[in-house]
Amino acid sequence: MICLTAKLDEQSPCGAVLTLTYEQRVKSRLRAVLDDGREVGVFLERGAVLRHGDCLAADDGTRVQVRAARERVSAVVAADPLLLAKACYHLGNRHVALQIESGRLCYQHDHVLDALVRGLGLTVTEEEVPFEPEPGAYGGSINAHQHTTGHDHA
Residue among 13, 16, 92, 83 at smallest CA distance from 4: 16
Question: Where do the H-state alpha helices sit in the chain?
Answer: 22-25, 81-92, 111-119
User: Residues 113-127: what's their mean pLDDT?
Assistant: 97
For the domain made up of 70-130, the CATH class stated in words is alpha beta
DSSP state letter for 71: E
Homologous superfamily (CATH) for 2-68: Urease metallochaperone UreE, N-terminal domain (2.60.260.20)
% of the chain residues with pLDDT over 90: 77
Neighbours of 74 (CB within 10 A): 20
152 pLDDT band, cuts 50/70/90, is very low
Domain borders along the chain are 2-68, 70-130
User: Residues 52-71: what's their mean pLDDT?
Assistant: 94
Per-residue pLDDT tens digits for 33-46: 999 999 999 999 99
Question: Where do the H-state alpha helices sit in 9-154?
Answer: 22-25, 81-92, 111-119
Q: Is the four-CA dihedral 10, 139, 48, 34 of positive or negative sign?
A: negative
